[in-house]
Amino acid sequence: MEAEGLGWLLVPLHQLVSWGAAGAMVFGGVVPYIPQYRDIRRTQNAEGFSTYVCLVLLVANILRILFWFGRHFESPLLWQSVVMILTMLLMLKLCTEVRVANELNLKRRVFSAADNKDGEVRVPLGRSFLDFDPHHFWHWSSFADYVQCVLAFTGVAGYITYLSIDSALFVETLGFLAVLTEAMLGVPQLYRNHRHQSTEGMSIKMVLMWTSGDTFKTAYFLLNAAPLQFSVCGLLQVLVDLAILGQAYVFTRYPLKPAPHVAHPASAKAL
């Protein structure tokens, strides 16, 4: 009788917890980029954030959405990709505006110095996606060029997916590519620490945030019977995070050499 009496409370409580977990999955991945976005706007300096992070996450989440058409998975995971794509586009827009503004200020100072010296200064031309110059890939002068690139990739990948949607092998491979790309985001940090034999400039708090977020995400995948690709790559992300924490412990406790003072952004990672 007591269990039946508590049933009216447990059912809505379970539903509330499910909604909370789904909301954390949808929006949790973008949380580390909020302070990064605010810091760039405040300082008007985007040097500490690599736009290649945006490239990797855009590719990974576009592929994940295409994977959904071949094999449906939990809706929160789909909406997580949509939110992440919008967030990365906002980050790209801000970084591009700040970089172009700083380059313009530099050109003005160069022109001013040239006027004083009666010299001639050559100003580099703007870089465009339609130039198809591989040396300037993902270093364009306008946010519209990044949008064109994303739309072109989405169109090509979408067309290939449309032609191959009936192939189970293609669909499963697409899913692995999507989540494996995102899972590799921590590897550059791991490699940098190993190469320098130091973790100076890396935020331990940020790595702990990565680890807790990836652990929650992997548990969500397992409990909600998400496709195998999600669980395997989630476990890989957790292992990479633990390896980075292990490096921080070893290099701090047993320093092999004086660590060079190199600033390195530690926010280039998705939950």
Q: What angle do CA 179, 79, 159 make, to 5 degrees?
A: 65
Closest CA to 186 of 68, 93, 265, 97: 265
Q: How far apart are CA 62 and CA 103, in angstroms?
A: 31
pLDDT at 226: 79
- The pLDDT assigned to 6 comes to 61
Tokens read off for 18 = 């499910």
**pTM of the entire predicted model:** 0.73
CB distance 129 to 149 below 8 Å: yes
Output the 3-class SS for the chain.
CHHHHHHHHHHHHHHHHHHHHHHHHHHHCCCCHHHHHHHHHHHCCCCCCCHHHHHHHHHHHHHHHHHHHHCCCCHHHHHHHHHHHHHHHHHHHHHHHHHHHHHHHHHHHHHHHHHHHCCCCCCCCCCCHHHCCHHHCCCCCCHHHHHHHHHHHHHHHHHHHHHHCCCHHHHHHHHHHHHHHHHHHHHHHHHHHHHHCCCCCCCHHHHHHHHHHHHHHHHHHHHCCCCHHHHHHHHHHHHHHHHHHHHHHHHHHCCCCCCCCCCCCCCCCCC
Distance CA 185, CA 207 (A): 12
Residue 138's closest CA among 31, 38, 57? 57
The per-residue pLDDT string of the chain (271 residues; one tens digit each, 9 = 90 and over) reads: 455 556 666 667 767 777 777 787 788 778 878 877 888 888 888 776 778 878 888 999 999 999 999 988 888 889 989 999 999 999 999 999 998 888 777 666 665 655 555 544 444 556 777 777 778 788 888 899 999 999 999 999 999 999 999 999 999 899 889 888 888 877 877 877 788 787 775 667 767 877 887 888 888 888 877 788 788 888 888 898 899 889 888 888 877 655 444 444 444 554 4
